[in-house]
Structures are given as structure tokens and as C-alpha cells.
Amino acid sequence: MAVDVQSQWQDARNFIRLHETKVRFLLAGALNTVFGLAAYPAFYFLLAPLKLHYMVVLGITQITFIVISNLTCTFLVFQIAGNYLRESNITLAPARTSDK
């Protein structure tokens, strides 16, 4: 019986290693969903003293979690290291045009 359990754990580890990026995508999606769904009520009650309309709070929540989702994909799923602006195709300078 113990050999079968150990063999099953080894098979599970091999499966996860084979599909590592997919598993990380699944984990990032689960984290984003759980925290994103919990964030709106939290922001709604934290921002209640400001008496903001619920759609404004929803917009703040959406913008916040778009950034967080991008960060979880950047660091958790694809494990990017180095020049983050280049990897995300963000440019701070205006596009150059050729003047001929």
C-alpha cells in the first residue's frame, strides 16, 4: 500500500513538472479570482467614509486588480527577470516616425 501511495505522489510530481506553466496559470487565476472577488466588498467598506458611488469603487477595484493580475502573470506564471518594461511592451518615450 505504501509503495502505491509513493508511486502516485511521484506520478503527480512528474505531471506537474510536465505541465508547470499550466499549473502556474491555474494558480494565478485562482489567486486573482479569490482576491478580486474579496476586494470589492473590502474596498467598498474601506472607502465608505468618502461616500463614493459604488461604480467608482468598482472602477478602483478593477484598475487595482488589472495591475495585480498583470504582476501575478509576470512574476508567478512566466517568472520574468530583468527589464520589466521591455517585457511588458511598455514604452515611456513617444514612438519615432521617419521624416522623409
Q: Classify residue 72: in a domain, yes or no.
A: yes
Classify residue 34: in a domain, yes or no: yes
Q: Is residue 60 one of the residues assigned to a domain?
A: yes
Q: What is the pTM of this model?
A: 0.65
pLDDT digits (tens, 9 = 90+) for 69-98: 888 888 888 777 766 666 666 555 565 666
User: 5 lies in a domain?
Assistant: no
CA distances from 21 to 15, 51, 58, 69, 78 (A): 11, 42, 31, 16, 7
How many Å apart are CA 78 and CA 82, to the nearest integer? 12
Number of domains observed in the structure of the chain: 1
- Asked if the structure places residue 93 within a domain, the reply is no
Domain of 71, in residue numbers: 20-83
DSSP states along 37-52? HHHHHHHHHHTGGGT-
Split at pLDDT 50, 70, 90, the class of 20 is confident
pLDDT score at 75: 82
DSSP3 helix / strand / coil % (the chain, rounded to 5): 75, 0, 25
